[in-house]
Amino acid sequence: MRKLLHSLSFLQKLWLTICLIVICTTIFFFLMFQFAYKQLYVSYVRSTLIQEGTSLVKHYHKTNNVNDFSEFVSKFDAVSNANVLFISNPRDLSACIPYNVSHESFITEDDRETLLKGKVITKTGFEKRFKHQIIGVVVPVVKKEKLEGIIYLHLPLRSVTELIQQSKWIFTISTLLFAFIILLIGRSIIKQMIKPLSRMEQISYKMANGDYTERINYNSGDEIGKLATAFNSMSDSLQKEDENRKEFLANVSHELRTPLSYVKGYSEAILDGVIKQEQQLKYVGIIQKEASRMQRLVRDLLDLATLDGQQFPLSQEPNVIAQLIEDAIETYSQILIKRNIKIQKN
């Protein structure tokens, strides 16, 4: 698994993450739907049945006639969504009626005590007749601390699968719309993340070819924005370093050009016989001096390379300025003579 993830590109990893988010969110949505079914739908059905049962009990106390009330309950059962049954026979109260819910006795001794206190009992279980989970409520009819009967209201509970099946188009369209919105948002986020990274790749290739002028325009406080800022800072440093290198090479070329021209000029003058015999030794000395100058320049270049590696021990030495002036005058003596320039030394 780790090797597979390692072989994926950054873009593929982002898309895989987005898809996993969509799948996990869809599963979470379905689980929340189940929770809502249990907590909201079942609770709503229960409260509705209790409300209907309580209204029937109030009507019983107004009627005071069991037969009339039984007939009223039968009519109410015909128009109600729930199955409604009024039981007043003491023998029936202890039997498993009207259905054997979960194969347990319908009214137990504990239930009877609860009903005598005027409290409602809720029954849930699987009923073979309906092949459904049902919910039922037992509302007591208590008069003068005597249980005169019960009103039993029950209703089959639709399963989550049935609810989804009935609203499958709404569920499917909602899921697809949700996935589309997430993918659209994810695409926008990925595009914003990949754009500066792709730009960095393009600029890095240009930098490899010596072009340090390109920059990344990405102003953000996130990690990619900080990376873009660091990349631009690195580009500035490399550009400055490149400019210093070019300037240094130009200076070195200029410094080498001068002694080389003197060496070449004086050596040609000696070979061509322009310089008199008695002056040749003097100009040979200048040629040697310029050669030594080039040697020192090359040595300085090597020292600079060593300085970059921080391995060069620096030491201070005295320098005779008068000798430097003498050497410079002697070097340029021929040019001074040609241009009739006289230098007076004190």
Query: Phi and psi for 262 in degrees, rounded to 5?
Result: -70, -45
Tell whether 173 is covered by a domain.
no
> 241 and 160 in one domain?
no
> What 3-state DSSP class applies to 43?
helix
Q: Are residues 292 and 200 in the same domain?
A: yes
What is the number of domains present in the chain?
Answer: 2
Determine the pLDDT at residue 100.
44
For residues 111 and 247, membership in a common domain is answered with no
Task: Tell me what pLDDT residue 313 has.
Answer: 61
Q: Distance between CA 80 and CA 272 in Å, rounded? A: 132
Element spanning 175, H or E: helix 168-208
At 104, the pLDDT band (50, 70, 90 cuts) reads very low
| Least confident window among 158-162, 266-270, 323-327 | 158-162
Peptide bond before residue 156 is cis, with ω within 30 degrees of 0: no
Q: Per-residue DSSP letters for 13-32? A: HHHHHHHHHHHHHHHHHHHH
User: What domain range includes position 131?
Assistant: 2-166
28 is a domain residue: yes
Contacts of 22 (CB under 8 A, 6+ apart): 178, 179, 182, 183
User: Of 41-45, 71-75, 275-279, 293-297, which gets the smallest average pLDDT?
Assistant: 275-279
H or E element, residue 84: strand 83-87
Q: Would you state the pLDDT for residue 97? A: 43
Q: Are residues 231 and 334 in the same domain?
A: yes
Domain holding 106: CATH number?
3.30.450
Report yes or no on 271 lying in a domain.
yes
Of 282, 292, 277, nearest to 334 by C-alpha is: 282
Q: Is residue 180 part of a domain?
A: no
Same domain, 85 and 161: yes
> Span 223-250, mean pLDDT?
83
Do residues 41 and 141 share a domain?
yes
Let me know if residue 104 belongs to a domain: yes
Residue 56, both tokens:
């029937």
CA end-to-end span of the chain: 88
Residues 208 and 288 in one domain: yes
Question: Are 51 and 139 found together in one domain?
Answer: yes
Q: Which of 117, 147, 166 is the last residue of a domain?
A: 166
Last residue of a domain, one of 120, 147, 166: 166
Confirm whether 120 is domain-assigned: yes
* Segment among 104-113, 233-242, 308-317 with least mean pLDDT: 308-317
DSSP designation for 291: H
Helix (H) / strand (E) element for 147: namely strand 146-157
Note the pLDDT tens digit of each residue in 175-215.
778 778 877 887 777 777 778 888 888 888 888 888 888 88
User: Is 198 part of any domain?
Assistant: yes
| CATH code, domain carrying 237 | 1.10.287.130
- Mind listing the pLDDT tens digit for each residue in 273-286? 777 777 778 878 88
Same domain, 112 and 214: no
Average pLDDT of the segment spanning 83-99: 62
Give the residue from 151, 166, 181 where a domain finishes. 166
Is the full-model pTM beyond 0.85?
A: no
Domain check: are 125 and 215 in the same one? no
Q: Give the separation between CA 284 and CA 37, rounded to whole angstroms.
A: 108
User: Which of the pair, 7 or 233, is modelled with greater confidence?
Assistant: 233
Same domain, 160 and 202: no
Instruction: Say whether both 162 and 74 belong to one domain.
Output: yes
Strand partners, 182: none
Nearest to 260 by CA among 301, 295, 285, 304: 295
What percent of the chain has pLDDT above 70?
Answer: 80
Residue 338 lies in a domain: yes
Position of tokens 């009903």?
Answer: 115
| pLDDT the model gives residue 310 | 56
